[in-house]
């Protein structure tokens, strides 16, 4: 069941843009930009999991990095507990970083192979000067138990663990300083299917136990449906739909979201045979030269002249049946 919608905002993102310059020639003159994230706005509420979904290359991971200020934003604002992070220096950011952590996608490259598990998990405690050496060692063992690993593993190295165990170590490292907010960037995509459910169940249990807030980035829609309270859908650097999990999965309003949902398999073979798959034609346009108007219009069956000329705003439908369900489509009313 979807949790009741929280009212207190933890993270506010307003008009966020992250553009990467394209440079050519001997003088490396800028001739364009890759618009990885192009003017998106959303909130993350305390105690919720916001799932961020979309095709590879749509800007999901860049959004997560920019929210944590691991990438500099080109424009826009990111506020954490009301404080604008956008213009803070690294020295000013340091006290805040212990409250905002990240779980990375690849459990093999995100752990230093030259460090023991104890040093990897304890590193954030040392960086933020949390406790004495004995207290840090005790905290590391507590974190290992918390993520389902044996505290005796403290002196082992990452190569001695499986992918699922390594991701548990990465999660323990993220939890070391008792953060309020965790960005999980496709934390299960590099794992075997049999292990994915274990990691997602662990994250869900830790959320309830520790009062965590997640931004869960993934292209695995079944896992997003399981863990998320709300879902945001991105396409080519833009947010095209945002709403509660049940609203987005059961009543998608954007043609792109409908196409995504039609690809999710159904456990019932009879219903699976009866379903109509929506096959999108054409390729995803380049983020360096996005189409005018709605970015989805070259692949959309509902596109008209206004879609080719005018960019749709992310809006709630007038008289919509679902409150706080927003969509960026000129013809969303036709899909109700």
Domains in the chain (CATH in brackets) are 9-99+179-335 (3.40.50.300), 115-177 (no CATH)
CA 78 from centroid of its chain's CA atoms: 15
Contact, 328 vs 238, CB < 8 A? yes
Of 278, 275, 230, 231, residue with least CA distance to 256: 278
- Residue 216 is inside which H or E element, if any? strand 213-217
| Distance between start and end Cα atoms, the chain | 23
For residue 187, give Cα distances in angstroms to 19, 158, 198, 215.
25, 17, 12, 11
CA distance 271 to 26: 59
257 Rama sector, left if φ>0, alpha if ψ -120 to 50, beta otherwise: alpha
| pTM of the predicted model over 0.85 | yes
What residue has token string 């196409």?
Answer: 259
Q: How many Cβ atoms sit within 10 Å of the Cβ of residue 309?
A: 11
Query: How far apart, in whole angstroms, are the C-alpha atoms of residue 171 and residue 149?
Result: 11
pLDDT truncated to tens, each residue of the chain (336 aa)? Answer: 444 454 699 999 999 999 999 999 888 999 899 999 999 999 999 999 999 999 888 999 999 999 999 999 999 999 999 999 999 999 999 999 999 999 998 888 999 999 999 999 999 999 998 888 899 999 999 999 999 999 999 999 999 999 999 999 999 999 999 999 999 999 988 788 888 989 999 999 999 999 999 999 998 898 999 999 999 999 999 999 999 999 999 899 999 999 998 877 776 677 666 677 787 887 889 999 999 999 999 999 899 999 999 999 999 886 555 558 999 999 998 877
- Per the CB < 8 A criterion, the answer to whether 275 and 290 are in contact is no
CA distances from 176 to 102, 115, 183 (A): 11, 16, 15
Alpha-helical segments (H) within the chain: 60-67, 90-97, 117-127, 133-146, 163-175, 193-210, 221-227, 245-250, 255-262, 269-274, 305-309
């Amino acid at each position: 069941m979807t949790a009741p919608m929280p009212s207190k905002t933890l993270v506010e993102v307003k008009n966020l843009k992250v553009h990467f310059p394209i440079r050519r020639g001997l003088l490396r003159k800028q001739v364009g930009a890759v618009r990885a994230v192009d003017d998106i706005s959303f909130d993350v509420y305390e105690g919720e999991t916001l799932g961020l979904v979309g095709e590879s290359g749509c800007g999901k991971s860049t959004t997560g990095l920019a929210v944590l200020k691991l990438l500099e934003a080109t424009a826009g604002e990111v506020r954490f507990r009301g404080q604008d992070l956008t213009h803070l220096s690294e020295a000013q950011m340091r006290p805040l970083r212990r409250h905002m952590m990240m779980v990375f996608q690849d459990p093999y490259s995100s752990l230093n192979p030259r460090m023991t598990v104890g040093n990897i998990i304890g590193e954030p405690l040392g960086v933020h000067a949390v406790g004495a050496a004995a207290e840090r060692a005790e905290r590391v063992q507590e974190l290992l138990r918390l993520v389902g690993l044996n505290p005796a593993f403290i002196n082992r190295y990452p190569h001695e663990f499986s992918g699922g165990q390594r991701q548990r170590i990465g999660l323990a490292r993220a939890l070391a300083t008792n953060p309020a907010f965790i960005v999980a960037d496709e934390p299960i995509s590099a794992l075997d299917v049999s292990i994915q459910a274990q990691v997602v169940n662990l994250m869900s249990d830790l959320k309830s136990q520790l009062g965590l807030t997640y931004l869960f980035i993934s292209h695995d829609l079944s896992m997003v449906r399981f863990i998320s309270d709300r879902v945001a859908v991105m396409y080519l650097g833009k947010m095209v739909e945002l709403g509660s999990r049940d609203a987005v999965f059961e009543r998608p309003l954007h043609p792109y979201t409908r196409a995504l949902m039609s690809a999710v398999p159904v456990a019932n073979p009879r219903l699976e045979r009866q379903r109509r798959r929506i096959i999108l034609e054409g390729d995803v346009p380049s983020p360096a030269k996005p189409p005018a108007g709605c970015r989805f219009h070259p692949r959309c069956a509902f596109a008209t002249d206004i879609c080719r000329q005018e960019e749709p705003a992310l809006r709630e439908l007038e008289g919509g049946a679902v409150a706080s369900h927003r969509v960026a489509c000129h013809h969303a009313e036709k899909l109700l």
